[in-house]
Amino acid sequence: MLRSRLTQAACAAQRAFSTSPRVLAAVKQMTVRDGLNSALDDELARDDRVLLLGEEVAQYDGAYKVSRGLWKKYGDKRIIDTPITEMGFAGIAVGAAMAGLRPVCEFMTFNFSMQAIDHVINSAAKTFYMSAGAVNVPIVFRGPNGAASGVAAQHSQCFAAWYAHCPGLKVVSPYDTEDARGLLKSAIRDPDPVVVLENELMYGTAFPVDDKVTDVDFLVPIGKAKIMRPGKDITIVAHSKAVETALQTAAELAKKGIEAEVINLRSIRPLDMDTIFASVRKTHHLITVENGWPQHGVGAEICARFMENEAFFELDAPVWRCCGVDVPMPYAKTLEAHALPRVPDVTEAALKVLGGKARSK
């Protein structure tokens, strides 16, 4: 099993803080990578219109080995290595989708998707509308998103806010194996274009999965968040790897007698505000955690939605956003670590938001 030191650490941390009741019953562990791989395998087998294309996805098994074994199983027609041009293969995938196929277009990382963004936004997202419903584009754009490790400014950034800005796209951001597997399968079956933002640092992390998750018909609905840990004192909303930070923060807060409710967004667009509103009606306090930048970010959008909803009156304190620092990602290891929200940062934020309530615990 390929695992970097970092992902091993993440894996250990996750196990330590997981509160899912399933952990006790489940014996089977599956990495996020295998979750994605099995999702692709299921859907390739289920529907012969599905194909995977991107750089190195076939003979090399994918730059991050997400497509391991699929080329051998499905061959050149279904698993396609492309020349190095994101705008090219994204365009090919959009055209193939318009002509009735269901392409899964892998960006080696979402950083490279900027080369192809015109196809994603102006073609994939808008064609159904512009053709007045005549031409739909059932396509999945997927790949690792967000900060990786030691790859600095141009390879460490979150595109959740970028893509979630655009009508016509659906955007999902899985955290664990269940999310990754269920959301990718839903994305492939969806009639609309879906952007699947995976996280490189999570690929090697194993999570317990039960038989329901490994079932070929297991799907995670797009547009629904998941409560990872129930609590009554404060709501922590996060997506992708930041869910891990949120769970670890909740464990820290528990030591102080504070019960935090952790919400894993799963989908960024549509955004499941109902789940967040319901949680805040209970906790009256909210912080958001994301590894992307603050301005116009996912947290900013959640704050704005509160301003527009009567749930605003449920808040006993202002919402606090915990985001990546507003600079390009530094290369130096210590700076990199401090450029992303860490457990102590989020814990501090939670305590500040709770104010006197935290002190009274």
CB of 101 or CB of 227, closer to other proteins = 101
Of 30, 50, 57, 96, the one binding other proteins (CB under 8 A) is 96
239 is a catalytic site residue: no
Distance, in Å, from the CA atom of 91 to the CA atom of 96, rounded to the nearest integer, reads 9
User: Which one of the listed residues 86, 178, 200, 244 is annotated catalytic?
Assistant: 86
Does 219 help bind other proteins (rule: CB under 8 A)? no
Do 31 and 213 meet the contact criterion of CB atoms below 8 Å apart? no
For residue 103, list its beta bridge partners: 51
- Site residues for other proteins, 53-82, by CB under 8 A, read 77, 80, 82
Does 27 help bind other proteins (rule: CB under 8 A)? no
Does 267 help bind other proteins (rule: CB under 8 A)? no
- What minimum distance in Å lies between the beta carbon of 86 and other proteins? 9
296 is a catalytic site residue: no
Does 130 help bind other proteins (rule: CB under 8 A)? yes
CB of 95 or CB of 330, closer to other proteins = 95
Of 79, 93, 236, 349, the one binding other proteins (CB under 8 A) is 93
Of 2, 12, 45, 129, the one binding other proteins (CB under 8 A) is 129
User: Which one of the listed residues 56, 155, 259, 296 is annotated catalytic?
Assistant: 155
Q: Determine the interface stretch with other proteins among 3-11, 55-63, 100-108, 208-216 (rule: CB under 8 A).
A: 100-108
Does 285 help bind other proteins (rule: CB under 8 A)? no
CB of 69 or CB of 191, closer to other proteins = 191
CB atoms within 10 A of CB 205: 29
- Site residues for other proteins, 333-352, by CB under 8 A, read none
- What minimum distance in Å lies between the beta carbon of 83 and other proteins? 5
Does 192 help bind other proteins (rule: CB under 8 A)? yes
Q: What is the contact surface with other proteins in residues (CB under 8 A)? A: 77, 80, 82-83, 85, 87-101, 103, 118-119, 122-123, 127-136, 167-168, 170, 190-192, 223, 270
Catalytic residue IDs: 86, 155
